[in-house]
Amino acid sequence: MKINLLWIMMLGSVPLFAATMSGQALFEEKCAVCHTKEKPTPEIRATMIAPPAMGLMFNLKKTFNNDKQASLAFMQDYAVAPSAEKAKCMPQAIKRFGLMPSLKGSVTPEELALITEYMYDTFPPSGFQPLQLNMKP
Ligand code: HEC
């Protein structure tokens, strides 16, 4: 009885979990710990260790003229091979937070495709005020 139950739980949950990781769930697991999804309040600002997702995407879309494919390609490369030379959107961010550590080995290209698609389609939220981009603490 005990064995049966365990077996059913394993059969039921493992494939389901692997198949349903969405871009949002992956973003929350692998990026949001540094790139907050929230609009940065003074409290968040004080402890931020990377640019918030909405400011990052606002800058990125401006830099790439809302070219989605170019933006996604840049992000997918940057996440596994960041460098000061490549960073084009937020030079002030590197000054404040330091260079992003490479996520090579902890995120797959397939996961990055889902994550960046989600980020592009979600941030910044409508009504976003670029003034919030002020990076000063
Ligand atoms: C350990 C913290 C950390 C994690 C985790 C992290 N980042 Fe970053 N990221 C940073 C920091 C710090 C910067 C700003 C400095 C820089 O551009 O290198 C940054 C900047 C970026 C930029 C902007 C580069 C530019 O030139 O404007 C992109 C795109 C990016 N991150 C994507 C991601 C994605 C996608 C993930 C998740 C798969 C992720 N990051 C996870 C810390 C992190």
Determine the 3-state secondary structure of 9 from DSSP: helix
User: pLDDT at position 74, please?
Assistant: 98
Query: With 80 as the cut, is the pLDDT of residue 16 above it?
Result: no
Indicate the average pLDDT of the chain: 87
User: pLDDT at position 9, please?
Assistant: 60
User: pLDDT at position 90, please?
Assistant: 74
Query: What is the average pLDDT across 12-33?
Result: 80
Give residue limits of the domains in the chain: 21-133
pTM of the model as a whole: 0.85
Q: How far is Cα 121 from Cα 61, in angstroms, rounded to an integer?
A: 11
Cβ–ligand 1 distance for 113 under 6 Å, the answer no
Determine the 3-state secondary structure of 107 from DSSP: strand
| Residue closest to 86 by CA, chosen among 98, 96, 97, 99 | 99
Instruction: Answer for the pair 137, 92: CB distance below 8 angstroms, yes or no.
Output: no
Cβ–ligand 1 distance for 114 under 6 Å, the answer no
Query: With 70 as the cut, is the pLDDT of residue 43 above it?
Result: yes
Q: Which of 12-16, 83-87, 90-94 has the lowest mean pLDDT?
A: 12-16
CATH architecture of 21-133: Orthogonal Bundle (1.10)
22, 30, 33, 35: residue to mutate for ligand 1 pocket, most atoms within 8 A of CB: 35
**Closest ligand 1 atom to the C-alpha of 115?**
35
109 CA to centre of ligand 1 in angstroms: 16
